[in-house]
Amino acid sequence: MYTYIFRYISILGVLLLSHTLSAQDGASEVIPPDSVRAYKPLLQEQEIPIGDSIIHKKFLSGLELALDYGKLLTLWTSFESKYEAGINLRFFERIVFAGELGYAELNPLKAYDNALYYTVRGSYVRLGLDYYTSYDPKSFYYAGLRYGMSVFEDEGQFLIDSEFWEDYQEGFGSADITATWFEFVLGTETYLKLGKSKTESPKSRFLLGWKLRLRVLMDFENREEPRIYSIPGYGRTFNETVPALNLYVKYRFGN
């Protein structure tokens, strides 16, 4: 009797186990493949940092110091000496607040007829904004505006000689002269590659660039005679629009 009961229980257990396994196989086939694809982006963790880098950009993303090495080439000339440096604050990687400070002393040859010498010297400052965009991972171009102001002085002396009277010699000059102007700026710059890098990152701390400026004179009261020859930071006073070219090297702090 017990033998028959044991056989019946064994047969019933086998039937229940087979039914359970078949139910699990059927349940696995019910889930459509589209539902798996719907959750696939959640499993790809490498895509999350890319999205975060686009959405969460730093407000202040860098500090930059610039030196105009083109101006330093004038130190080897006898008619002008110029110095210019700048500091930039970069916001959201693309917007740059630019400040530029410089000093110039000019001794133009034959600035005036009968002039024994003429000198104009002074300092200037420019403030403005640039907007950057990249055309490859290492290079950028940008456009911007500047407001410039210069405070300077000039002096000179001229000689009028005569065969009939004594030679006439007199000095002239003005102090605390001011001038203001606007500038339109277009430029480009690229990261310098210093040595062999073991990583694929194109970035270093140094950038090399150049910029074109178109300066438009705003407020400046020139003398009648003799007229002021040049404005430090702006250029010659014979025209109210003056183009210029700057060559610079820049060091960047931060990312």
- Report the pLDDT value the prediction gives residue 228, as an integer from 0 to 100: 92
Token pair of 188, please?
A: 């480009």
CA dist list (Å): 123 to 62, 146, 152, 232: 27, 16, 6, 7
What fold, for 53-253?
A: Porin (2.40.160)
Pick the closest to residue 171 from 108, 238, 106, 112 (CA basis).
Answer: 112
- Report the pLDDT value the prediction gives residue 55, as an integer from 0 to 100: 43
Contacts of 105 (CB under 8 A, 6+ apart): 80, 81, 82, 119, 120, 121, 232
Q: How confident is the prediction along the chain (255 residues), in pLDDT tens digits per residue?
A: 444 444 544 454 444 444 444 444 444 444 444 443 443 443 343 343 433 444 456 788 889 999 999 998 888 888 889 999 999 999 988 999 999 999 999 998 777 777 888 999 999 999 999 999 988 888 999 999 999 999 999 999 888 776 777 777 788 889 999 999 999 999 999 998 876 655 555 567 899 999 999 999 999 989 888 889 999 999 999 889 999 999 999 999 876
Nearest-angstrom CA–CA distance, 66 and 251 = 6
How many CA within 13 A on the CB side of residue 160? 5
Sign of CA dihedral 217, 223, 224, 226: negative
CA dist list (Å): 147 to 67, 184, 250: 19, 9, 21
DSSP state of 131: E
Token pair of 175, please?
A: 């102090």
SS3 207: strand
Contacts of 173 (CB under 8 A, 6+ apart): 153, 154, 155, 156
Q: Are 208 and 188 in contact (CB under 8 A)?
A: no
Q: Are 107 and 82 in contact (CB under 8 A)?
A: no
- Report the pLDDT value the prediction gives residue 19, as an integer from 0 to 100: 46
Q: Where are the domains of the chain?
A: 53-253
The overall pTM is greater than 0.75: no
Nearest-angstrom CA–CA distance, 91 and 98 = 11
Token pair of 105, please?
A: 């002393």
Per residue in 200-232, is it b (16+ CB within 10 Å) or e — as a string?
Answer: eeeeeeebebebebebebeebeeeeebebbbbb
